């Protein structure tokens, strides 16, 4: 069996010479053929249209072997995706916790605003009470001045 898929293949599954080869080193795209040799009758292989089973200068790979490699690579990609999904789920959970905290803060802010407006009312009432006391004092002083001075 010939060694590797080509260099310069953009497909990530073939860059390292593993998985289903898409292209030969010579630039031609691979084709699937069926072996009719006595040693491998009916066995599928990927090859270069310009190559043959004996020609080491062009792509030749048994499809069953490439398929196993492809499956292994797909498996590792799936594992990575599963890991990513796991961390995304974790991030989502954290986001929800942050959202809950933010909602609680909003409620507290609304409550504090109420407290502040109550305080403002009390301050106003105290001010008018003070004014009344001052006015009352002035009236008393005038009454005292008019009648007893």
Tell the smallest beta-carbon distance from residue 56 to Zn ion (Å).
11
For Zn ion (CB under 5 A), the number of binding residues is: 6
Rule CB under 5 A: choose which of 24, 45, 46, 66 binds Zn ion: 24
Given a contact cutoff of 8 angstroms between Cβ atoms, the answer to whether 60 and 45 are in contact is yes
Tell the smallest beta-carbon distance from residue 15 to Zn ion (Å).
17
CA–CA gap between residue 125 and residue 100 (Å, rounded) = 38
Q: Does the footprint of Zn ion cover residue 31 (CB under 5 A)?
A: no
Q: Which is nearer to Zn ion, 28 or 35 (CB)?
A: 28
Residues 6+ apart with CB under 8 A from 75: none
CA proximity to 30, closest of 45, 8, 11: 45
Q: Which residues pair with 29 in a beta bridge?
A: 23
Q: Which is nearer to Zn ion, 4 or 28 (CB)?
A: 28
CA–CA gap between residue 44 and residue 35 (Å, rounded) = 6
Given a contact cutoff of 8 angstroms between Cβ atoms, the answer to whether 21 and 71 are in contact is no
Q: Does the footprint of Zn ion cover residue 58 (CB under 5 A)?
A: yes
Given a contact cutoff of 8 angstroms between Cβ atoms, the answer to whether 73 and 82 are in contact is no
Q: Does the footprint of Zn ion cover residue 46 (CB under 5 A)?
A: no
The window from 5-13, 30-38, 41-49, 129-137 that contacts Zn ion (CB under 5 A) reads 41-49
Rule CB under 5 A: choose which of 21, 48, 60, 63 binds Zn ion: 48
Q: Give residues in contact with Zn ion (CB under 5 A).
A: 24, 26, 28, 48, 50, 58
């Amino acid at each position: 069996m010939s060694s590797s898929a080509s260099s310069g293949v953009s497909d990530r599954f073939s860059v390292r010479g593993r998985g289903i080869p898409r292209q030969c080193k010579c630039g031609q795209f691979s084709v699937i053929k069926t072996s009719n040799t006595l040693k491998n009758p009916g066995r599928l292989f990927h090859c270069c249209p310009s190559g043959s089973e004996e020609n080491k200068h062009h792509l030749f790979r048994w499809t069953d072997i490439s398929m196993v490699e492809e499956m292994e690579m797909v498996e590792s990609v799936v594992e990575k995706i599963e890991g990513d999904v796991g961390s995304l789920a974790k991030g989502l959970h954290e986001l929800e916790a942050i959202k809950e905290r933010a909602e609680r803060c909003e409620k507290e802010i609304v409550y504090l605003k109420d407290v502040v407006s109550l305080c403002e009312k009390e301050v106003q009432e105290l001010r008018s009470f003070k004014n009344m006391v001052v006015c009352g004092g002035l009236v008393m002083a005038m009454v005292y001045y008019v009648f007893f001075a």
